[in-house]
Chain A
Amino acid sequence: MLLNCLLRRRCARLSALLVALAAAPWAHATSPIAHQAAPASPLARASLAASAAEADSDAEDSSNLSASARRIYDFGRPRLLQVRTLLRDQDSQASVGSGSLVGADGLILTNYHVVSQVALEPQRYRLNFQTVDGVTGALQLIAFDVVHDLALVRMAKPPATVSTRGIFEFRPAATPLAQGERIFSLGNPLDVGFAVVEGTYNGLVERSFLPQILFSGSLNPGMSGGPVLDDRGHIVGVNVATRRDGQQISFLVPAEFAQALIARGANAKPITTSVEAEMSRQLLQHQQQLTTRFVALPWRETKHAHYSVPVPQEDFMRCWGSSNPSESKGLSFERSDCQMDTAIFINESLRTGDMAVRHEVYDGSKLGALRFAEEAGQSFRNEGMGRRTHDLTAPKCKEDFVESGGLPMRTVMCLRAYRRLPGLYDVAVLSQSVDAKTEGVQGRFDARGVSFENAMLLATHYLKGFAWKRSP
């Protein structure tokens, strides 16, 4: 899934994410929001306003709907803020998001990715807020939940009037929303001004490891961290992401995670030391849950006559298949690509906490043994294992012939360590069958942000999914 976090500057640079997932068939038709969003020229603003007016007049029941949106906005207005990341030594903003007042002492709820620069590089960045009526001041980072992309910040010197603004309350868990209920997202899209966006609640996103609410409404960069309210003004979720290739497909962090973060972090002292140890702790906890659930699932049956191939259940992964035209005179192959929808944002160049399983089944009967071996070798050696980056070490690999279920394979396992998050690794297992002259299977498993022990556990689990099937 091409998640485009709703932070304007980030979104303008999310092409990396787009590249990573371009293998999915629908990815080619994407139109990144960042493009539409780039400069808010007067013309663009005018056309936006015009289309908004059009939509308004088109709506059947426009008087009612706009009345409740107006009511919600009036209610939310004093409690809504823009959260700005500024360069440490000047007033230029590096990124902007939104936030909501959730504590009378100036406690503000927002996304982790809105404050990630300050969290990771406090020596370069600082945080500031601006209310709808123009009050500004400094913010301090109090607590964060990197896995669910949430953060708590607090006004460093709360203005005397802050308690008169009131705070947002959460919708009680006992009264869940029904699909189709109207909800309202607040925030400051593209830094053009505070806005209220109407949309509908559509339940939780299916097959997502991390629960997210599917919100059918237009979220835009800059609204990240803003609250989403029910018609009584209670928080039901937090703006977090949108799909680049869809329309009005947006995602919210469910309110329960925000409540949990507030419960454990509201009275915390501002974070002044490195956040990396705490971040590692949260990510290790996440990978443990993910690994446990993943290895507990059996592999799916594959239809191939000779090979059993590890293909994951689609409980929290999505698989896409493809094959080359059957009239091809060369190598025929069938391919399956499975990956998780949710990756955890750490910084602009690092997403983690997810897995991908891929395989290709080759039929080289039209090629002959020698040419098939050559083709298979080409496909085997052009797999990218990554290089050393700011965040990760270079990969280090172990390779050998490995047998699984009677099937001999050439197997490579490469690991990379996180340079700033101790105890976390990326693991990739690449395996190519070497039993037959003109047919074969090549599989690859990737897990990002797992412990070394779990990397070994997952590699074992994956390799055991391969087997040679006796022809029926």
Chain B
Amino acid sequence: METLALIETLDRDGQPRQILRVSQWPVRIGRAIDCDLVLDDPHVAALHATLDMREDGLHVVPATTVNGVRLGRASVAPGSTPLLPASGQMTLGATTLRVRLASEVLAPELRLLDRHAVERRNAATLVALIVIASLWKGFDLWLSAVPGAPGSTIAWGYLSAPIGLIVWCAVWAIGSMLFQRRFAFWAHLQVALTWLLVAVLVEEVTKQLAFALSMPLVEKAGRLAFAGALAMMMWRHMGLLLPARRRAFAIAIGSAVVVGGALLLVDRSVSQEPLVGDLYLGTISLPGVRIAKPVSIDAFVKSAAPLQQTLSKWAKPGDDDDDSPGGDDD
């Protein structure tokens, strides 16, 4: 007999669990065994709905049930017999069904190797990233290690970062496993490496630039950019988990950054600390990096005069005279 349509019962991941070949309309769907499609769902009535082919297409005819029929998010009003939407999906009780009609035009065949090719391309990028990160880390360790320090200290320093990174990416990959059914370790590693490198690069460049130009503000901007890069990394990680929710994630991370940042600013302003970064620029660089000309002692001291005004404002009693007496500066 000619197959007119397939009705697939979908599981939570959208994979077909049960397929019915339809050779004649109408099709009765319900829990009763005399239905054409018998669903094992306690939220479905004995006869829940009927699918009927009319001249303008396939219609859903719901029976009188407790849970009714939903097309997408919209419930079908009692008595109406709507046309099945193009997606072919409907929900009866807790069961989602998809109808594929024989008359539908098929999407072209997807090239199976596509994903592998992408991964190969990514692999090259990934290797490059790993090499850059290793070199950077090695340089960083060399820079701060005391000559003659025991090898184990250096080895531990060199190993702790990759171990941390592997654990981080593995946790995200387990997340991917949960939502995407694949252990996307390398994809997460690429995200993490890319944005961490961006973060440290921006930090280092702004530090050197701040020193060269004697502009501490540049370093402060670098700190913000650093935090921004980390936020981007989180967003990309989350996007790999649920690509459809990227917009929502962007809003969530954005508002977390705004709210967290605002709280931090309030906190720092109450304790009279600089809003961003340290009290002063802590970078000392090579003599050749410096571009800014030194000022004379008198000019420097004169430029500190406005401090008095800020300090007298800070010293004003009032707002917080009951704070705990502290002697931490002693």
A-to-B contact residues, CB < 8 Å = 16-17, 19-20, 329-330, 348-351, 366-367, 369-371, 373-374, 376-378, 380-382, 384-404, 408-420, 422, 425, 430, 432, 434-437, 452, 456, 459-460, 463-464
Q: Are A350 and B327 in contact (CB under 8 A)?
A: yes
Q: A381-B282, A389-B325 are in contact. Are A415 and B307 (CB under 8 A)?
A: yes
B328 in contact (CB, < 8 A): yes
Are the C-beta atoms of B329 and A329 separated by less than 8 Å? no
Report the bound CA distance from A388 to B324 in whole Å: 11
Contacts of B328 in A (CB 8 A): 386-387, 389
| A436→B287 CA distance, assembly (Å) | 6
- Whether, in the assembled complex, B110 has its beta carbon less than 8 Å from a beta carbon of chain A, the answer is no
Task: Report the minimum CB–CB distance from A86 to chain B (whole Å).
Answer: 20
**B residues in contact with A459, CB < 8 Å:** 301, 304
11 pairs across A/B with beta carbons < 8 Å?
Answer: A16-B327, A329-B148, A377-B283, A387-B326, A396-B307, A398-B300, A403-B296, A403-B297, A432-B284, A434-B287, A463-B300
B55 lies within 8 A of chain A by Cβ: no
Instruction: A349-B327, A396-B307, A409-B294 are known; give 11 further A-B pairs, CB within 8 A.
Output: A348-B325, A349-B325, A373-B284, A389-B327, A390-B323, A402-B295, A404-B297, A408-B294, A410-B281, A412-B280, A463-B301
Beta-carbon contact of A463 and B295 below 8 Å: no
* Across-interface contacts of B143 in A (CB, < 8 A): 370-371, 374
With both beta carbons as reference points, the residue of chain B lying nearest to A377 in the complex is identified as: B284
Kindly state whether residue B285 has any CB partner on chain A within 8 Å: yes
Chain A neighbourhood of B285, CB < 8 A: 373, 377, 434
Whether B297 contacts A402 by the Cβ 8 Å rule is yes
Residues in chain B near residue A369, CB distance under 8 A:
286
Task: List, in ascending order, chain B residues with CB within 8 A of A456's CB.
Answer: 301, 304-305
Give the residues in chain A near B214, CB-CB below 8 Å.
Answer: 399-401
> Among residues 287 to 330 in chain B, which have CB atoms less than 8 Å away from a CB atom of chain A?
287, 290, 292-298, 300-301, 303-305, 307-308, 310-312, 314-315, 317, 323-330
CA A387 to CA B330, docked complex, whole Å: 10
Residues of A near B287 (CB, < 8 A) are: 434-437
> Nearest Cβ distance between residue B320 and chain A, in whole angstroms?
9
Q: How far is the CA of A378 from the CA of B281 in the complex (A)?
A: 11
Give chain B nearest CB distance to A44 CB in angstroms: 29
* Docked complex Cα distance between A374 and B311 (Å): 32
A398–B279 Cα gap in the complex (Å)?
9
Interface: B108 (CB within 8 A): no
B3 within 8 A of A: no
B42 part of interface (Cβ distance < 8 Å): no
A410 to B284, CA, bound (A): 8
Q: Which residue of A lies closest to B304 (CB)?
A: A398
Tell me which residues across on chain B come within 8 A of A416, comparing CB atoms.
Answer: 311
Q: Which residues of B contact A400 (CB under 8 A)?
A: 214, 292, 294-295, 300, 303
Chain B residue with the shortest CB-CB distance to A416:
B311
Contacts A404-B297, A456-B304, A460-B301 given; indicate if A415 touches B279 (C-beta within 8 A): no
Let me know if B117 is at the binding interface, CB within 8 A.
Answer: no
A396 touches B311 (CB 8 A): yes
Residues of A within 8 A of B103 (CB): none
CA distance A32 to B61 in the complex (A): 92
Measured CA separation A392–B297 after assembly (Å): 27
Q: Which residues of B contact A (CB under 8 A)?
A: 142-144, 146-148, 211, 214, 216, 271-273, 278-287, 290, 292-298, 300-301, 303-305, 307-308, 310-312, 314-315, 317, 323-330
Q: Which of B148, B214, B284, B298 has the most CB of A within 10 A?
A: B284
Residue ID in chain A nearest B146 by CB atoms: A330
Residue contact A394 to B273, C-beta cutoff 8 Å: yes
CB–CB A403/B294 < 8 A: yes
A377 to B282, CA, bound (A): 6
Beta-carbon contact of A403 and B279 below 8 Å: no
Find the B residue at minimum CB distance from A466.
B297
- Nearest to B298 among chain A residues (CB) is A460
B residues near A420, Cβ cutoff 8 Å: 317
A392 to B315: give the CA distance in the assembly, Å.
7
Q: Which residues of A contact B323 (CB under 8 A)?
A: 390
* From B279, B296, B308, residue with most partner A Cβ within 10 Å: B279
Q: Of A366, A381, A398, which one neighbours B147 at CB under 8 angstroms?
A: A366
Q: Which of A370, A381, A394, A463 contacts B286 (CB 8 A)?
A: A370
Q: What residues of A have a CB within 8 angstroms of the CB of B284 in the complex? A: 373, 376-377, 380, 410, 432, 434
Q: What are the nearest 10 A-B pairs in CB distance?
A: A381-B282, A349-B327, A394-B272, A386-B329, A403-B294, A390-B325, A417-B311, A401-B294, A377-B284, A329-B148
Given contacts A373-B284, A376-B284, A377-B283, contact A348 B327 (CB under 8 A): yes
Q: Which residue of B lies closest to A393 (CB)?
A: B314
Which residues of A are found within 8 Å of B301, using beta-carbon distances?
413, 456, 459-460, 463
Q: Closest B residue to A404 by CB, please name it.
A: B297
Q: With the chains together, A374 CA to B208 CA distance in Å?
A: 12
Across the two chains, which residue of chain B brings its CB closest to A440? B284
- Contact in complex: A452, B308 (CB < 8 Å): yes
CB closest residue in chain B, given A389: B326
Of B147, B283, B315, B323, the most chain A CB neighbours within 10 A belong to B315
B315 is contacted by which of A349, A376, A417 (Cβ under 8 Å)? A417
The answer, among A378, A389, A409, for a CB contact under 8 Å with B329, is A389
Contact yes or no, A367 B297, CB < 8 A: no
Report A-chain residues with C-beta under 8 Å of the C-beta of B310: 396
Contact B303 A398 (CB under 8 A): yes
**How distant is B328 from chain A, measured CB to nearest CB, in Å?**
6
In this complex, the member of B281, B285, B298, B301 whose beta carbon has the largest number of chain A beta carbons within 10 angstroms is B301
Is A460 within 8 A of B290, CB to CB?
Answer: no
In angstroms, how far is the closest chain B Cβ from the Cβ of A337? 17
Q: How far is the CB of A269 from chain B (nearest CB, A)?
A: 26
Name B282's closest neighbour in chain A (CB-CB).
A381
Task: Choose from B147, B279, B286, B314 the contact partner of A397 (Cβ within 8 Å).
Answer: B279
Query: Smallest distance from the beta carbon of A20 to chain B beta carbons, Å?
Result: 5
Minimum CB–CB distance for B323 against chain A, Å = 6
Q: What residue of chain B has the Cβ atom nearest to residue A425's Cβ?
A: B311
A452's nearest neighbour on chain B, judged by CB, is: B308
Complex Cα gap A469–B142 (Å): 32
List residues of chain B with CB within 8 A of the CB of A403. Answer: 294-297
Q: Residue A384 contacts which of B297, B305, B329 (CB distance < 8 angstroms)?
A: B329
Shortest beta-carbon distance from B272 to chain A in Å: 3
CB-CB under 8 A for A392 and B329, given A374-B143, A403-B295, A437-B287: yes
Residues of chain B contacted by A17 (CB below 8 angstroms): 330
How many Å from the CB of A141 to the closest CB on chain B? 21
- Name A391's closest neighbour in chain B (CB-CB): B325
Quick one: given A400-B295, A437-B287, are A329 and B314 in contact (CB under 8 Å)?
Answer: no
Q: Which residues of B contact A384 (CB under 8 A)?
A: 329
Q: A20-B330, A410-B284, A422-B315 are in contact. Are A390 and B304 (CB under 8 A)?
A: no
Among the interface residues B282, B285, B300, which one has the most CB atoms of the partner chain A within 10 A? B300
B290 contacts across to A, CB distance below 8 A = 401, 408, 434
Cβ of A43 to closest chain B Cβ, rounded Å: 33
Output the least CB separation between B296 and chain A (Å): 6
CB nearest to A412 among chain B residues: B280
